[in-house]
Every structure is written in structure tokens, then in C-alpha cells.
Amino acid sequence: MFIPLGDDNTHRRRSPLVVIGLIVACSIVWLLQLEGGDSFTAAYSAIPVEILQNKDLVTPTIVDFGGQRVSIPQAPGPSLIWLTLISAMFMHGSWLHIIGNMVYLYIFGDQIEDALGHLQFLFFYIICGIIASLAHVLSDPSSVLPSLGASGAIAGVLGAYLVLHPQNRVKVLVLRNVVDLPALVVLGGWFALQFFGQFGAEGGGGVAYLAHIGGFIAGIILLLPFHGWPSRAARKKTSPRRAL
């Protein structure tokens, strides 16, 4: 497993204002979650049944989970329940969840914001997040479990990064060693983990891998209308300098 520590930002021209803003927004929402508890999280997470039936669940739902009957908290959400597809991408399930997501967003998001421009990057990010959430919703339409996290939107950023900067060097922690690897290896390995996580023996194991896969593919496809397909020469271009 690769844990990214930084990438080569030599060619970056713009400050990542939107990336920083998204990190701040996710951090504020996380603090609101800690304050509001399960009711706040349940109200603004994306729940497949709510999205597909356009109905807000407001009372706890009993489900069979691992052979046990478990009560899933529910709470009144926004009047337009589809808005949870957006609110959910700013929410997280744990400290590890938000820290991991924000590290990936900070390392890889700046170069995509640089390539697309501030406003276009924001739209790109949100659309990727919505598509990722819909991929999860459609894969399990009867689920009443809340889905939340920026992972799907960030997966779209990773897909775009893979296309635009496949040879860019990324510093990663592998076991106890820090090594330099091309983005193609790092992000290709990340995608492989999502694919086998979804279609392997565990079948997801409670993680919305299909949202990650959907977001990643959306990022690759949306790169064309948002940026245009890079030339072969541009994809091969790398910098002699390596920076964190």
C-alpha cells in the first residue's frame, strides 16, 4: 500500500485556492458533525433509498448487519433530499477518514486546479463527487445506510491527474521506506485496490468502493470537456526537480 507524502509541483502556476477552501470546508463540517452527533450526520449523508424514492427517512431503521439486527439512526434532512449528494461529499466518518482524504486532495488536487483554473476545478470536483455518489446509490438502491466522504470527488481528481501527469514523481511511504514513484504506478495501484475491494471476496466490506471507481472514471471522462485531452508529449513531460 502506498501512502503519498508529496509530488513534484515544479510546473504549477496557480496557488491552490479552491483546494485549500475545500479542505477548510470539510474541516468545518467535520467539527459540526462532532458537535451534532449521529443526527447531523444522518440528516446530510446520502442514503440510496432517500435519493431514489425522493423520501426523507426521519426515524431509526432496523437492518440485518452481519447476522445482527442493528438500528441505523435517521434524521430530517434538507427539503430537497437530492442535495445530500453534495452535502455528503463534505462529511466524513472518522478522524482517519478525513485526514486521509485531505492528504490526497492536497497532494493531487493542486495540479488539477492549476490545469483547469479555479472555478472550473470547483465544478469538476463537485460533478465528480455527484457521479461517484450516484454510482454507489445505483449499486445498492435499497440501502438505508448513510454514505459520506470526499473520496468519490477526490477519486475524480486522481483520474484526471493520472491522465495529465502520469510520469510526475510522487514521494510515497512504502512500509518504512520513502521512495519516488511515477504517478502512473501510485494511482494505478490505488485504482487496483478499489477494483479488487469492490469485486473481491469481501464484496466491499462496508466501503463504497464503487463510488471511488465511478469518481475515478468520471474524472478521466470529464477531463476532455473541462480541459481537453493532453498531447503525448505533454503527458511524458517531467521536471528534473523533485519537490514535496
Name residue, grid cell 482517519.
Answer: 96
CA distance 70 to 89: 25
Is residue 214 in a domain? yes
Is residue 242 in a domain? no
CA distance 213 to 142: 20
pLDDT for the residue 237: 53
Is residue 243 in a domain? no
Q: What is the DSSP annotation of 116-147? A: H-HHHHHHHHHHHHHHHHHHHHHHSTT--S-B
pLDDT for the residue 153: 98
Please state the separation of Cα 200 from the chain's center in Å. Answer: 21
How many domains are contained in the chain? Answer: 1
C-alpha cell at 13: 502556476
pLDDT for the residue 71: 87
Is residue 107 in a domain? yes
Is residue 82 in a domain? yes
Instruction: Identify the CA nearest to 216 among candidates 140, 164, 161.
Output: 161
pLDDT 10s digits, 22-34: 999 999 999 999 9
- How far is residue 36 from each of residues 28, 44, 75, measured CA to CA in Å? 12, 11, 11
Rounded to 10 deg, the angle between the 17-44 and 118-139 helix axes is 30
3-state secondary structure of 89: helix
Is residue 78 in a domain? yes
Is residue 137 in a domain? yes
- Reported pTM: 0.89
Domain extent, residue 145, equals: 3-236
Is residue 84 in a domain? yes
Q: Could you tell me if residue 25 is left (phi over 0), alpha (psi between -120 and 50 degrees) or otherwise beta?
A: alpha
Low-confidence ranges of the chain (pLDDT < 50): 201, 238-244
C-alpha cell at 5: 507524502
CATH number (domain holding residue 62)? 1.20.1540.10
Q: Which helix (H) or strand (E) holds 93?
A: none
pLDDT for the residue 238: 47
